[in-house]
Amino acid sequence: MSISFEFSKEPALLEQYYNIREECFRRELGIQSFDGGENDFDRWGRILIVRDGDRCIGGARLSGSTPYSPGLLPLENNGFMVLKVFSKLALEGKSYCQWTRLALLPEYRSMENLQALALSMIQNARACGYSYAFSVAGSNRSRLYRKIYKVLDYDYEIRTDLSVPAEQGFMGLEHLLSIGYLEEPISAKKSLESLVANISSVPCDYLRKVA
């Protein structure tokens, strides 16, 4: 099977995605009262649809904030504010986002498909100009996401030192905050660090000569 990914506003695809996430969240998280229907964050954000042909098989929601168009992320509730906790983002003028409501039909959850989905999420967030992607999940999923990010050559940090207020309707579930670093792959940073280290080891007299 070959799956594809796209941001979409097509009503039929969105409705399929909303139904899938409602079914998945109720069954897998045990939230029988969960309403997967459209809400404000869906309308304010962008929906990444996962397709198998013309059929929607899952999706995820992207919410973001930039210095020129600031916005609240879904995790920012009950007093938790990203720029208060991560003040460096404001100082550096960085844009950041949060992926939420990730859902995929069980029969499509091979590691190959999960990696393809994660790569699409990274690429689309980068294309939107975001430097960091926040995520809130339980420990098992957080570790899975970190593993996939590493395979895809991107850093992913689970912040067990930070407490995130529980989303309404998700009380009693584990809420771990994680950060995906999107600006550049790990290998690119290592190459730059190696280059700087090599330059630093060159004698100053030689650098003056070649200059």
* Percentage of residues in the chain having pLDDT higher than 90: 80
- Please say if the pLDDT value at position 67 is more than 70: yes
List the domain range (segments joined by +) for residue 8. Answer: 4-210
Supply φ then ψ for residue 200, to 5 degrees. Answer: -65, -25
Domain CATH code at residue 77: 3.40.630.30
Q: In the structure, what pLDDT confidence band is assigned to residue 146 with cuts at 50, 70 and 90?
A: very high
Tokens of 23: 């079914």
Mean pLDDT of the 155-176 span: 92
Q: In the structure, what pLDDT confidence band is assigned to residue 31 with cuts at 50, 70 and 90?
A: very high
Q: In the structure, what pLDDT confidence band is assigned to residue 190 with cuts at 50, 70 and 90?
A: low
DSSP state letter for 80: -
Q: Strand order in 55-65's β-sheet?
A: 4-7, 46-52, 55-65, 96-104, 132-137, 176-181, 156-159
Residue 184 burial (10 A CB sphere; 0-12, 13-18, 19+): middle
The pLDDT value given to residue 211: 44
Q: What mean pLDDT, rounded, does the chain reach?
A: 90
Q: In the structure, what pLDDT confidence band is assigned to residue 180 with cuts at 50, 70 and 90?
A: very high
The pLDDT value given to residue 192: 44
The pLDDT value given to residue 196: 45
What are the tens digits of pLDDT across the range 105-124? 999 999 999 999 999 999 99
Mean pLDDT of the 186-211 span: 54
Q: How many domains does the chain have?
A: 1
Query: 187 versus 132: which is more confidently predicted?
Result: 132
Q: In the structure, what pLDDT confidence band is assigned to residue 2 with cuts at 50, 70 and 90?
A: confident
- Please say if the pLDDT value at position 35 is more than 80: yes
* Percentage of residues in the chain having pLDDT higher than 70: 89
- Please say if the pLDDT value at position 206 is more than 80: no
